[in-house]
Amino acid sequence: MNEMSKPASHADTVQQLRVDLACALRWAARMGMNEGVDNHFSAAVPEPDGSIKGDKFLINPFGWHWSEITASSLVLCDVDGTVLEGSETVEATAFCIHSRIHINHPNAAVVLHTHQPYATALTLLEGGRLEMVEQNALMFDDRIAYDDDYEGLALATEEGDRMAAQMDGKPILMLASHGVMVSGPTVADAFNDLYYLERACMFQVHAKSTGGTLRRIGDNVRARVKGQMETERKAVADRHFTALRRMLDREEPGYRA
């Protein structure tokens, strides 16, 4: 087996995960999805055999702005809150939310939590829902769960467990009066969903602000597009995140450090 065909080692896989998570955090800041030094992105670290248990995860350190995150600054911690790698700490709500999502949903390998403006705006409305009336919105047809009960700051793991239960097998959770949680199998998949979710919410907020009536999409078309999105979404995510990484490599290569 030559060097080019050798599979990546576990260490290489974890390092790439660090790089991708740092890239996602920096781009989220560039796109205005951050809020001060709050909110959190995490990624479960796979076992050497590639399986995901969710009992160890990388997460952005407490008190760092997303625009200054680097691969090495990310903290590795376990589900008990013990920092395994890194000199920084994990913010309390970050631990209580992300540890419980990862352990309850091992398929949620990556969990991104933000208060991004347009998605959060929908969570402030009574019965606020993303309407299936626009192409970007159709990416999320039957993929969003809604938590309609705001319970305050997530300062206990019980609140994280409650959020995990509210996900009900769906990768996205809209949190009443709070924000959004997006999960996925890879950083690329989750970040792509985060980006297009914000776009879809933005279009809906703009359209509703005109006072007009939202145009409806027929059930037959909606069903067809839902099927199309199942195959297109992964390809779009891979291309999208590869481009973001390429631009950041050129403009802010220090994120890989």
- For 49-76, the pLDDT digits (tens) are 989 999 999 999 999 999 999 999 999 9
pLDDT in tens, 80-121: 999 999 989 999 999 999 999 999 998 899 999 999 999 999
| Residue 4: per-residue pLDDT | 54
The whole-number average pLDDT for the span 77-82 is 92
Q: How far is residue 16 from each of residues 9, 39, 86, 190, 229, measured CA to CA in Å?
A: 11, 22, 17, 16, 27
| Residue 210: per-residue pLDDT | 98
Residue 32 confidence (pLDDT) above 50: yes
Q: Which of 44, 178, 17, 187 is nearest to 105 (CA)?
A: 44
Per CATH, which fold does 8-256 belong to?
A: L-fuculose-1-phosphate Aldolase (3.40.225)
pLDDT in tens, 137-147: 999 999 999 99
The whole-number average pLDDT for the span 121-141 is 97
Share of the chain above pLDDT 70, in %: 98
Q: Which of 143, 153, 149 is nearest to 127 (CA)?
A: 149
Averaged pLDDT score across all residues of the chain: 95
Q: Could you tell me which residues are beta bridge partners of residue 110?
A: 43, 184
| Residue 8: per-residue pLDDT | 87
The domain locations on the chain are: 8-256
| Residue 1: per-residue pLDDT | 41
Token pair of 76 as six digits: 């590795």
Q: Kindly report the CA angle at 22 between 75 and 181, in degrees rounded to 5?
A: 85
Contact yes or no for 77/57 (Cβ under 8 A) = yes
Tell me the whole-structure pTM to 2 decimals. 0.95
| Residue 3: per-residue pLDDT | 47
Tell me 38's DSSP state.
Answer: B
Q: Could you tell me which residues are beta bridge partners of residue 182?
A: 112, 172
| Residue 5: per-residue pLDDT | 57
Backbone angles phi, psi at 55, to 5 degrees: -90, -5
Element (H, E) at 165: helix 157-167
| Residue 106: per-residue pLDDT | 84
